[in-house]
Structure 1
């Protein structure tokens, strides 16, 4: 039964390395924001140091993922804004939901 359900999920899921990298970068952005806020409002130098260290680690991970995205051609930061929007739009999928 689990293999049947697993196969059904795989058939309906469009996931690849680019999607995984995008999700990891979005998660790293959220974590960096949380650590930055925590370090700014820390009441003790020890906490501030701990949060700042974690922030540096998250930023290093994000930088590595960004380099990977550039190397693989998933991110094209030097394209015009119009081209970037057009590219992202063509990647997107629209789901029409009907309510009955």
Structure 2
């Protein structure tokens, strides 16, 4: 049954490096939010240090992924906001 489901997903899912990187950036943002909250609310200095170290690693990974997305021109952070919105809209139309 797993093989059938895998084939169905592969045939109906258009996944590429850009989609994977975008999902990883979103996941890193969520993880950074969680570790920041844990760092700020932890009760002991040892826990603060552990969470802070993890937060630093996640920020480094997020920075690397963002740099990759900019270098590959998957995102244009310096474009006008209206142009960024139009590009996102056009991408969404082409994947439907």
TM-score (norm 1): 0.87
The count of corresponding residues between Structure 1 and Structure 2 is 95
Coordinate RMSD, CA, aligned? 1.6
Q: Could you tell me which runs of 5 or more consecutive residues in structure 1 were left unpaired when the two chains were aligned.
A: 96-100
Q: 1:55 to 1:3 in 2, by over 3 A?
A: same
Counterparts in 2 of 1:41 and 1:5: CA distance versus 1, 3 Å: closer
Unpaired runs of at least 5, structure 2: none
Bigger proportion of residues as helix: 2
Q: CA deviation at 1:57?
A: 0.3
TM-score for both structures, normalised by structure 2: 0.91
Stretches (4+) displaced over 6 A: none
Q: Highest CA radius of gyration, 1 or 2?
A: 1
